[in-house]
Amino acid sequence: MIPWVLAQTAGATAAPAVPEFGRPDPVAIGFFAVFICITLGITWWAARRTQTAEHFYAAGRSVTAGQNGFALAGDYMSAASFLGIAGLVSTSGFDGLIYSTGWLVGWPVVLFLIAEPLRNLGRYTFADVVAARLRPTPVRISAAVGTLATIAFYLIAQMVGAGSLIRLLFGIPYESAVLIVGVAMMAYVLFGGMLATTWVQIVKAVLLLGGAALLALLVLSRFGFDPRALFAAAAAQQGAGVLAPGKLVSNPWDAISLGLALMFGTAGLPHILMRFYTVPDAASARRSVFIATGLIGLFYLMTFILGFGAMVLVGPASIKAIDAGGNMAAPMLAELLGGRPFLGFIAAVAFATILAVVAGLALSGAAAISHDLWASVVRKGNPRPGEELKVARLATIALALVAIALGVLFKGQNVAFMVGLAFAIAASANFPALVLSVFWRRTSTAGASSSMIVGTLATLGLIALSPAVQVDLLHHEAAIFPLKNPALVSIPLAFLTGIVVSLLRPDAGGDAAYEALETRVLLGSDP
């Protein structure tokens, strides 16, 4: 997500002073080809083990807690957070910390409130949980709307980001880069399902953490392995202001609204929630979030070192000369400290990172279409044998085509804004309904469904009225809604809608259904 940082990439052009960027680079392409070969090999291996819907969506529940911890981290840490945070810190210092902390603090919430009930109540999608004791048809349709809206905006952000970054890193034209990402993602998901996606994410997580750790160690070695010496050098060079809040947070309410979206958005991201079904039981789900939180926290601490390292060693002016958004800070730092081969490696890691994230997104979108809409709504929970898997594969192809089309269509769009929107929809549409249906006895079918629909529509509507669209896009004088991120209004609104409608339109027999559900929340479906 990383707002405007990636946003500005699209319009930026490589400065002639540093010809290395924006030209086809054999080392980077070589590393990337190796990654593609390894992951396609994994896909070929996984394809032979992916025969049923349970394998396709949930890898046969055979993923261990440790593997799932790495896969969750790989699913979550996008190129935006790697290149974007490092870039943001390298050009504006402290302000980047607001994002690195915000993206981490959602994880404890996922662990405390969501992971175990989700694993115990559901099969493939988060809608399984909301629908567990309610009437399935309205709940599943509403949940699919929230899921697909979240995924659409997240996909746009990743595809547009991929196209722009890959053009800068490899010198491949934007449209070709989007096409490569779309086709590779389709191959992983279509043939290898969740098992292949899981291993692509694990490989990517190891590469990303390893690459970032190596880079951070190289930076620290220049400062006697003392981060304070690095910060002191940054303050001496760029002024003490880089260690304090800067211009980024001009409106305090915007900061709070963004914080809400980041914290509760994670707990509503369909591709993250889906990963909890791949482990054998709730205790493994718990352990996997613990591991993921450790890895992701470590990663965000390292991006901070990378950002300040790039600020001191490369310099904000040179970074902005290559890319106005600062996205090339980490690759430039890699080249400075490890030469061309290390730059090639980091570039390939960035590409792999995007692939792993879009594969997870496509899989959760396919599950929403085939499991929630086709099998549960159209076939009323009784699909013909093998039919659900076939629909899931068709949905994967359709989603890949849509993702490529959206990537090309939204070229040059404000990426940040799209991911911000995805987190805001996830936090407003999915998270309130999920929490209400598990923890509040009186939640009714009408309440949960309307909460998801109102959450989605309110987020989209408020974004359309916000300064990001009204002023930046349409060039109006002022916006009707003052905040850039709608979460401060849309999350409470979704909770309120769910509560009020549940009280006005209760379900018959709701109490007995909730007691049965409570037992399942604790013990799982087969105690």
Partner 1 sequence: MASLLTAGMVVVYFGFILLVAFRPALLATPLGDGLSVGILLGALVIVSAWVLTWTYVRWANRVYDPALARLREEHRTAGGAP
Interacting residue ranges for partner 1, rule: CB under 8 A: 94, 97-98, 100-102, 104-105, 107-109, 111-113, 227-233, 235, 240-241, 243-245, 249, 252-253, 255-256, 259, 263, 283, 286-287, 289-290, 293-294, 297, 300-301, 519, 522-523, 525-527
- Residue 76 Cβ vs partner 1, minimum distance, rounded to whole Å: 14
Residues sharing a CB contact under 8 Å with residue 334, sequence separation 6 or more, in sequence order = 215, 342, 343, 345, 346
- Residue 523 Cβ vs partner 1, minimum distance, rounded to whole Å: 6
Q: Are 432 and 425 in contact (CB under 8 A)?
A: no
Between helices 329-367 and 174-221, what is the axis angle to 10°? 130
- Residue 526 Cβ vs partner 1, minimum distance, rounded to whole Å: 7
Q: Other C-beta atoms within 10 Å of 287: how many?
A: 18
Question: Which lies closer to partner 1 via its Cβ, residue 22 or residue 307?
Answer: 307
Question: Which lies closer to partner 1 via its Cβ, residue 27 or residue 255?
Answer: 255
- Residue 498 Cβ vs partner 1, minimum distance, rounded to whole Å: 18
Question: Which lies closer to partner 1 via its Cβ, residue 365 or residue 432?
Answer: 432
Question: Which lies closer to partner 1 via its Cβ, residue 167 or residue 287?
Answer: 287
- Residue 48 Cβ vs partner 1, minimum distance, rounded to whole Å: 34
Q: What angle do CA 76, 81, 86 make, to 5 degrees?
A: 155
Question: Which lies closer to partner 1 via its Cβ, residue 285 or residue 406?
Answer: 285
Which residue type sits at 373? L
- Residue 92 Cβ vs partner 1, minimum distance, rounded to whole Å: 13
Residues sharing a CB contact under 8 Å with residue 227, sequence separation 6 or more, in sequence order = 220, 305
Of 490, 426, 478, 412, which Cα lies nearest the Cα of 454?
A: 490
Q: Mind giving me the DSSP string for 64-132?
A: -HHHHHHHHHHHH--HIIIIIHHHHHHHHGGGHHHHHHHHHHHHHHIIIIIHHHHHHH-SSSHHHHHTT
Question: Which lies closer to partner 1 via its Cβ, residue 243 or residue 336?
Answer: 243
Q: Is 485 helix (H, G, I), strand (E, B) or coil?
A: coil
Question: Which lies closer to partner 1 via its Cβ, residue 97 or residue 129?
Answer: 97
Question: Which lies closer to partner 1 via its Cβ, residue 104 or residue 184?
Answer: 104
Residue identified by tokens 């991929």 is 162
- Residue 440 Cβ vs partner 1, minimum distance, rounded to whole Å: 13
- Residue 212 Cβ vs partner 1, minimum distance, rounded to whole Å: 15
Helix (H) or strand (E) holding 409: helix 387-409
Question: Which lies closer to partner 1 via its Cβ, residue 242 or residue 402?
Answer: 242
What burial class does residue 526 get, using C-beta atoms within 10 Å of its C-beta: 0-12 exposed, 13-18 middle, 19+ buried? exposed
- Residue 185 Cβ vs partner 1, minimum distance, rounded to whole Å: 30
**Residues of 403-412 as b/e, b for ≥16 C-beta within 10 angstroms?**
bbebbbebee
